[in-house]
Amino acid sequence: MSNHPSISDLRTEFKKGSLDEHDVDKNPFSQFNTWFKEAVNSKIPEVNAMALATADLQGRPSARMVLLKQYDENGFVFFSNYASAKARNLTDNPHAALLLFWEPLERQIRIVGTVKKISAAESFDYFRSRPVDSQLGAWASQQSTEISARSLLEKAFGEMLEKFKNGEIPLPPQWGGYRVIPDEFEFWQGRTNRLHDRIAYRKQTDGSWKIVRLSP
């Protein structure tokens, strides 16, 4: 262990960009779209991967990676099993935070808001666009439940493969999308000397957005 550098000594100097509250778009969704397109064009792997943070009624937090699959001015959509641990959190406490981090651009976006299930029709539109194996996996897995061996999961997958071999795979009743409806955004651009740029948007009671600069 002594031959390895201490984690406290690890340093990265951020020099790739800047962010000014006078230059960002007045609409946070438009600003998100601009940055997301730049991230896509930068060929960042898993560019739509984001951390989803939830909490239960006791305030005990939980976080995991999910994939952003849709976004517009109505919010940001991801998909999950409705009986999963994250789903139970969201039933008890329908508030969440999202975090996207794009290291090659030295940027991150934080989004906070309320969460609602999308319609079954919206979920099915996305579900049928998935590869067949992914559709079958949604039927086979009872997400977050304990299993004694992987073989049970593979057995369930085989059973679903046989069950739906001759027709369209229907939407599982326990699977679908969630939409995070933001009331706060933060756009973070790494800068030198740890004096990072942080521009926040806060939703006002009239539906407009207030833009402020935060100290790093």
Whether 43 is covered by a domain: the verdict is yes
- Looking at the fold, whether 139 and 87 belong to one and the same domain comes out as no
Annotated catalytic residue, options 60, 194, 202, 213: 194
- Looking at the fold, whether 138 and 197 belong to one and the same domain comes out as no
Q: What is the residue type of 109?
A: I
- Looking at the fold, whether 84 and 157 belong to one and the same domain comes out as no
Whether 57 is covered by a domain: the verdict is yes
CATH of the domain at 30: 2.30.110.10
Contact 163, 157 (CB under 8 A): no
| Sequential DSSP letters for 52-86 | EEEE-TT--EEEEEEE--EEETTEEEEEEETTSHH
Mean pLDDT, the chain, whole residue set = 92
Predicted confidence band at 11 (pLDDT cuts at 50, 70, 90)? low
- Looking at the fold, whether 44 and 97 belong to one and the same domain comes out as yes
- Looking at the fold, whether 158 and 144 belong to one and the same domain comes out as yes
**Three-class SS of residue 110?**
strand
- Looking at the fold, whether 110 and 142 belong to one and the same domain comes out as no
Q: Report the DSSP pairing between strands 75-81 and 95-102.
A: unpaired
- Looking at the fold, whether 122 and 138 belong to one and the same domain comes out as no
Whether 141 is covered by a domain: the verdict is yes
The DSSP element (H or E) to which 138 belongs, if any, is helix 132-140
pTM of the model: 0.88
Distance CA 147, CA 96 (A): 28
Q: Report the DSSP pairing between strands 49-55 and 61-67.
A: antiparallel
Whether 122 is covered by a domain: the verdict is yes
Distance CA 44, CA 35 (A): 12
- Looking at the fold, whether 117 and 138 belong to one and the same domain comes out as no
- Looking at the fold, whether 18 and 80 belong to one and the same domain comes out as yes
- Looking at the fold, whether 81 and 145 belong to one and the same domain comes out as no
Active site residue 64: no
Whether 86 is covered by a domain: the verdict is yes
For residue 26, give its domain range.
Answer: 13-128+173-214
Q: Looking at the predicted structure, is the pLDDT value of residue 2 above 60?
A: no
Give the pLDDT confidence of 170-180 residue by residue, as tens digits: 999 999 999 99
User: What residues are paired with 175 via a beta bridge?
Assistant: 81
- Looking at the fold, whether 117 and 141 belong to one and the same domain comes out as no
Q: Which two tokens stand for residue 8?
A: 């406290």
- Looking at the fold, whether 122 and 166 belong to one and the same domain comes out as no
Give the pLDDT confidence of 94-147 residue by residue, as tens digits: 999 999 999 999 999 999 999 999 999 999 999 999 999 999 999 998 878 888
Whether 5 is covered by a domain: the verdict is no
Q: Name the domain count of the chain.
A: 2
